A and B are shown apart, each in its own frame.
Chain A
Amino acid sequence: MKSRKLSFVLAMLLVLMAVLSGCASKTEEASVIKIGAMGPETGDYSMYGISVVNGAKLAAKEINAAGGINGAQIEIVDYDSKGDKTEAVNAYNRMRDQDGVVAVVGGTFSGTTLAVKEIAVGDNMPVLSPTATNGEVTLDAPNVFRACYTDPYQGATAAVFAAENLGAKKAAVLYNIEDPYSEGLAVAFNEKFASLGTVTNYEGYTKNDADFRAILTKIAAEDPDVIFLPDYIAKVGVILSQIQELGLTMVPIGGDGWDGIEADYADVAEGAYFANHYAKTDDAPIVQNFIKAYEAEYGSTPNALAALAYDSAYIMAEAIQRAGSTEAQAIIDELNKTDRDCVAGHVKFDPNGDPIKSISMIQIVGGEHKLVAKVSGN
């Protein structure tokens, strides 16, 4: 008898607690604006996703410390996309339904961003991808923007830089035929350079290839001034090592996939150039302040992905602030009017939602990044 009474009291208590906590979270929601973020936070590509989430969270922290936007605090709700399209769609649905995000900063990869694009267009959700470079991402999607430049734009810029800043007359292109990123850059470089000089070799390799001596020997016979290597560090490092082994003198040029190459391949990449979103050695206060804040928060130097995510969170927060509400169309209209200085260059959006900005060309000198020029590919 006694125990039944006790359990009744306990049950009432539980109900009361549930009601109270429900109230508490409701009042809290009013003063918090949630922005979704996603990227691969585990697995092979975790370094990319973690950089993006860290960059966005750092921006949110700074904005909140400065008083938030329209009297509300920002919260970054992040989900692990695992770099997988299905996971990305699940993450997006959860953000929208369960967390009630008003905007999304993401995805990190082109593939996952494309996977959520169609649903986001249907929802008219403001989406700003910091790092998806594939051309398709912003096409026919008035609510989808990106903070990074596209693959074709980057390839063309590298070609302009090679011809005008380095004075190259002949160029060779060596790219990974199994990777859309590598191919996108190679095609654009090839087209642009053909109008500025001669492309001596346009060669592809597959992702399993490890030996490049045969193909490099063949390229060297044409004696090009520069060789364009649009791939990620792991492959580029292998190619650069063999260029050194063969004693070839052409100047290697690459794209943003090279960011961080000095960690493992400083000696073979010495003197080479690559296009990047921002230069760590840029003297602009906004860049140096960002690097300092990031290092203080996470204890490591931010890469380009972190910088772009940091910019994206600021751009999004500013759009929400100017919109004065969390209504989707109002935020999208304000995103279109974006015109601000960011860590990775000045950002303005073209009608597609792609940024119009210059690209930093960086040279590896003594194992460090040196900002050589800011070039526009148009």
Chain B
Amino acid sequence: MILFLQQIINGLSVGSIYALIALGYTMVYGIIKLINFAHGEIMMAGAYFAFLVGVHLGLPFFAVLIISMIGAAVLGVFIEFIAYKPLRKAPRISALITAIGVSFFLQNLALVIFKAEPKIMPNLIVKRPVNIGSLQIGTVTLATLALSIGFMIILDVFVKRTKPGKAMRAVSEDKDAALLMGINVNRTISITFAIGSALGAVAGVLFGVMYTQVYPTMGVMPGLKAFVAAVLGGIGLIPGAVLGGFVIGMVETITKAYLSSQWSDAIVFGLLIIVLLIKPTGILGKNEKEKV
């Protein structure tokens, strides 16, 4: 039983990283109907920002996290401005292909700047087990869970209770109507990219700290799985992304724990196929109540 609980916690912490990345996918999709395939690379960039700040300035964890989030947010907005904004009236496939191009561009840029060798993330959180009852949980696992759940709550409050959040929901509902109501659509889209990218950076930093390494292709697999998570939960829906992320993390962990490591990816992607066959809109899809 203890063992099972331990695995559940492992699964939640893996899932919370997917959920953070999936939020970026789903928010951007909700607002401009674009699957931003460069999002995994934003996460990678966030991790590199943290690596640079952590190594050269030696700041504590939270300062590193905030700087990395700001860096990624600026990068996300910049990419939107340069690559996606000119294509807003173009067919959706053009923007999608551009996103794939941006993804490769960022990966190769990182390769040129930092080389392929993984960089070792400084030990921003001291790794040791903490005893909670008879459970033993690592400090990084705890921090990952706490931070991601914290940021999810903040996001929820932001979207539901603030003016820019309301604007985001309005734009995702109907861009033209929102424009007529005096909402600054361009600024709202920028804010969406900024928030999505900042959350991606949180995932990148946590991923880097947990797995000790930062490398140019680190965003590919988590990015892909987070995309699966977003689709699984219902793309365009914030609660869907969170649910999808946790489901994927849990399925992956349970497979590794009780079946075998080799099957985990096959089962995760197989799950996507099954969900798409049974319910193409995702677990929470259909009722487009809250769409950002």
Does A pair with B? yes
Point out residues on A near B: beta carbons under 8 Å: 44, 177, 203-206, 208-211, 213-215, 217-218, 221, 234, 237-238, 241-242, 244-247, 264-265, 267-268
A208 to B129, alpha carbons, bound, how many Å? 25
User: Known contacts A214-B10, A215-B257, A237-B213; is A177 also within 8 Å of B129 by CB?
Assistant: no
A214 / chain B contacts, CB cutoff of 8 Å: 7, 10-11, 14, 252-254, 256-257
Question: In this assembly, does B184 line the interface, its C-beta being within 8 Å of a C-beta of chain A?
Answer: no
Binding site for A on B (CB under 8 A): 3, 6-7, 10-11, 13-14, 116-118, 120, 123, 127-129, 136, 138-141, 207, 210-213, 221, 252-254, 256-258, 260-262, 264-265
B253 contacts A238, CB within 8 Å? no
Please report the number of residue pairs spanning A and B whose Cβ atoms sit closer than 8 angstroms. 91
Chain B hits for A245, CB < 8 A: 127-129, 138-141, 210
Contact of A213 among B116, B139, B141, B254 (CB under 8 A): B141
Are A206 and B262 closer than 8 Å at their CB atoms? yes
Are A247 and B128 touching (Cβ within 8 A)?
A: yes
**Within 8 Å CB of B117, what residues of A?**
44
CB distance from B10 to the nearest CB of A (A): 4
Least CB separation from B123: chain A residue: A267
Contact B211 A247 (CB under 8 A): no
With both chains docked as a complex, state the minimum distance between the C-beta of A236 and any C-beta of chain B, in angstroms: 11
Kindly report which residue of chain B lies nearest to residue A211, judged by CB atoms: B14
Further 20 A-B residue pairs, CB within 8 A, beyond A203-B260, A204-B261, A238-B211: A203-B261, A204-B260, A205-B262, A206-B261, A206-B265, A211-B253, A214-B11, A214-B254, A217-B3, A218-B256, A221-B3, A237-B212, A241-B127, A241-B211, A242-B138, A242-B210, A245-B138, A247-B129, A267-B123, A268-B127
**Closest-CB distance, A212 to chain B (whole angstroms):** 8
Measured in the bound complex, the distance between the Cα atoms of B14 and A179 in whole Å is: 25
- Interface of chain A: mostly helix, strand, loop or mixed: helix
Question: In the complex the two chains form, what is the Cα distance from A242 to B3 in whole Å?
Answer: 17
How far is the CB of B19 from the nearest CB of chain A, in Å?
15
Determine the residue in chain B with the shortest Cβ distance to A209: B261
A115 → chain B closest CB, angstroms? 23
A267 to B123, CA, bound (A): 10
Could you list some 22 contacts between A and B, CB below 8 A? A204-B262, A205-B261, A206-B261, A206-B265, A210-B207, A211-B210, A211-B252, A213-B10, A214-B7, A214-B257, A218-B256, A218-B258, A221-B3, A237-B213, A238-B212, A244-B127, A245-B128, A245-B140, A245-B210, A246-B136, A247-B138, A265-B212
Between B123, B254, B261, the greatest number of chain A beta carbons within 10 A of the residue's beta carbon is seen for B261
* Given A44-B116, A213-B141, A247-B138; A238-B213 close (CB under 8 Å): yes
Complex CA–CA separation, A177 to B141 (angstroms): 26
A-B CB proximity, top 4 nearest? A247-B129, A245-B138, A214-B256, A213-B10
Contact of B257 among A218, A234, A247 (CB under 8 A): A218
B121 to chain A, nearest CB (A): 10
How distant is the Cα of A204 from the Cα of B211 in the complex, in angstroms? 18
Chain B residues with CB below 8 A from A237, complex form? 120, 212-213
